[in-house]
């Protein structure tokens, strides 16, 4: 197979739109800031994505407006019922350690009887200088992210790590509206930047707000914390595995959203775009080239079911297909297994396939997939710890000290790889 094989043009969904999918794994370069005035740091007004608890609260006022048909239940109403001050009632909700357990229980019972759910969250956040939530920035629909098993596993671990400290998550989709921009308008104490392309204006709004940021699966700018996998080690492990099985004609199946379509890379050594794709290609190519293997690389626009199946068929369409394919993800590996079956190639007798992630999909393919496992729980815990540490530094009036975590990976051998065909 040669790099001159025909290219199938697979256009992006919208010109200039960011691809989405698997924690994706693209390089992030600093870009000019979007126009407009920067909002006040950390105090965005309520807008799309605002925590649902802000809705439906009763107004916290000490006096009811004349003519109200139904009197509002306020802090003062509860204070009068119990015979304590407004501040004591407020402490029962916001500073429980200031009261005895018996008094707090009495106040909460009276509030429950009166139908009072507590001080207004927006006012409470303003008084504390904290929203009690962190934002998570996406480039595409929130639904797409949670249908991706890799992203879902990571976000589950992230949510658990934050919830242990009473911190909520606010989802921040990349907004197509100029009137409501979640990254600009929603109150949050910090933000996690995930799967965002270099030109994303939402990232720049978060920067302009001077919020503490944590980057996951992408290179951070200076002074920003990050959580990354050891991508090069993962690529190297996959390559060394197929080399040990005797394979010497190997294709790398990676992502490159910058090319605007799918096809063979001009130079396999430089295939892929972004810290994740480039890291995996670098690790694999170094091991393969050192062993004298014939290496090619096929690039697909994005790690997405809309583009991957056609690309996988093109990858195997030549007169002399590879004997092993090292894939950017389990999703792409599953597509190669299906394309091989469509062409009459047996996995692993005729073709060995290696994935990356060890997602649920790796155990449901036929045959089960040899893959590089990433630790989703560790990634989520480290990201939540970095966010919480940044928030604590800000609350203490101290500069945020960026941390950079690199998570090890491991090879999981299953039934999709075997000795090279004779």
- Please give the pLDDT value at position 198: 60
Residue 41 has pLDDT above 70, yes or no: no
- In the chain, the percentage of residues whose pLDDT exceeds 90 is 51
Order of strands across the sheet that contains 225-229: 168-172, 133-137, 190-194, 213-216, 225-229, 404-407
Mean pLDDT of the chain: 81
If one compares 187 and 415, the residue with the highest pLDDT of the two is 415
3-class DSSP state of 233 = helix
Confidence at residue 72, expressed as pLDDT on a 0 to 100 scale: 79
More reliable by pLDDT, 150 or 339: 339
Which structure tokens are listed for 317? 């369409």
Closest by CA position to 311, among listed 2, 8, 5: 8
Residue 347 has pLDDT above 50, yes or no: yes
Position with higher pLDDT, 9 vs 359: 359
What are the tens digits of pLDDT across the range 107-126? Answer: 999 998 998 887 766 656 55
pLDDT tens track for 195-227? 776 677 888 888 888 899 999 998 888 889 999
Predicted pLDDT at 47 = 38
What domains appear along the chain, each with residue ranges and CATH number?
59-119 (1.10.260.40), 128-229+378-407 (3.40.50.2300), 231-375 (3.40.50.2300)
| DSSP single-letter state for residue 59 | P
Pairing between β-strand 190-194 and β-strand 133-137 as defined by DSSP bridges: parallel
Helix (H, G, I), strand (E, B) or coil at 247: coil
167 within 8 A of 133, measured Cβ to Cβ:
yes
pLDDT of residue 212: 92
Task: Report how far residue 319's alpha carbon sits from residue 211's, in angstroms, rounded to the nearest whole number.
Answer: 54
Determine the Cα–Cα distance for residues 126 and 40; give it in Å rounded to an integer: 12
- Provide the CB-side half-sphere exposure for 183 (13 A, CA): 31
The pLDDT tens digits for 56-76 are: 333 343 333 344 434 678 888
DSSP SS3 for 113: helix
- pLDDT mean over 8-18: 41
What per-residue confidence (pLDDT) applies to 71? 62
Q: What is the pLDDT of residue 144?
A: 66
Specify the pLDDT at position 386.
95
DSSP state of 122: H
> What backbone torsions phi and psi does residue 197 show, to the nearest 5 degrees?
-75, 165
Q: What confidence score (pLDDT) does residue 121 get?
A: 63
- Pick from 280, 278, 275, 257: which is nearest to 218 by CA? 275
Q: Which two tokens stand for residue 266?
A: 């001009």
Q: Is this prediction's pTM over 0.75?
A: no
Mean pLDDT in residue range 70-83: 84
**Would you place residue 298 in the very low, low, confident or very high pLDDT band (cuts 50, 70, 90)?**
very high
State the pLDDT at residue 171. 86
């Amino acid at each position: 197979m040669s790099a001159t094989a025909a290219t199938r043009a697979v256009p992006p969904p919208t010109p200039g739109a960011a691809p989405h999918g698997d924690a994706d794994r693209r390089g992030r370069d600093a870009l000019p800031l979007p126009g407009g005035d920067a909002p006040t740091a950390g105090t965005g007004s309520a807008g799309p994505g605002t925590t649902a608890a802000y809705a439906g609260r009763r107004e916290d006022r000490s006096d009811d407006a004349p003519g109200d048909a139904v009197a509002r239940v306020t802090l003062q109403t509860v204070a009068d019922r119990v015979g304590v001050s407004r501040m004591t009632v407020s402490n029962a909700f916001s500073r429980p350690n200031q009261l005895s357990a018996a008094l707090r229980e009495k106040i909460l019972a009276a509030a429950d009887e009166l139908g009072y759910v507590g001080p207004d969250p927006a006012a409470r956040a303003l008084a504390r200088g904290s929203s009690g939530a962190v934002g998570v920035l996406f480039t595409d629909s929130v639904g797409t992210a949670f249908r991706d098993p890799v992203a879902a596993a990571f976000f589950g671990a992230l949510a658990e790590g934050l919830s242990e400290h009473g911190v909520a998550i606010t989802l921040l989709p990349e907004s197509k509206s100029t009137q409501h921009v979640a990254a600009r308008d929603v109150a949050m104490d910090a933000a996690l930047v995930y799967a965002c392309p270099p030109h994303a204006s939402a990232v720049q709004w978060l920067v302009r707000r001077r919020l503490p940021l944590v980057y996951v699966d992408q290179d951070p700018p200076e002074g920003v914390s990050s959580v990354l996998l050891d991508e090069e080690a993962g690529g190297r492990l996959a390559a060394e595995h197929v080399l040990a099985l005797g394979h010497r004609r190997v294709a790398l199946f990676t992502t490159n959203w910058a090319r605007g379509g799918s096809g063979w890379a001009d130079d396999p050594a430089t295939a892929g775009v972004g810290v994740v794709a480039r890291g995996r290609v670098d690790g694999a190519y170094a091991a393969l080239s050192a062993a004298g293997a014939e290496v090619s690389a096929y690039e697909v626009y994005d790690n997405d079911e809309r583009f991957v199946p056609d690309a996988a068929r093109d990858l195997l369409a030549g007169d002399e297909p590879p004997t092993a394919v090292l894939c950017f993800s389990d999703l792409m590996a599953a597509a190669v297994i299906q394309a091989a079956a469509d062409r009459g190639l047996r996995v692993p007798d005729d073709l060995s396939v290696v994935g990356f992630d060890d997602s649920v999909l790796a155990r449901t393919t036929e045959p089960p997939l040899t893959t590089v496992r990433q630790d989703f729980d560790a990634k989520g815990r480290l990201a939540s710890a970095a966010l919480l540490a940044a928030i604590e530094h800000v609350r203490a009036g101290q500069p945020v000290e960026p941390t950079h975590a690199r998570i090890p990976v491991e090879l999981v051998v299953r039934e999709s790889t075997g000795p090279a065909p004779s």
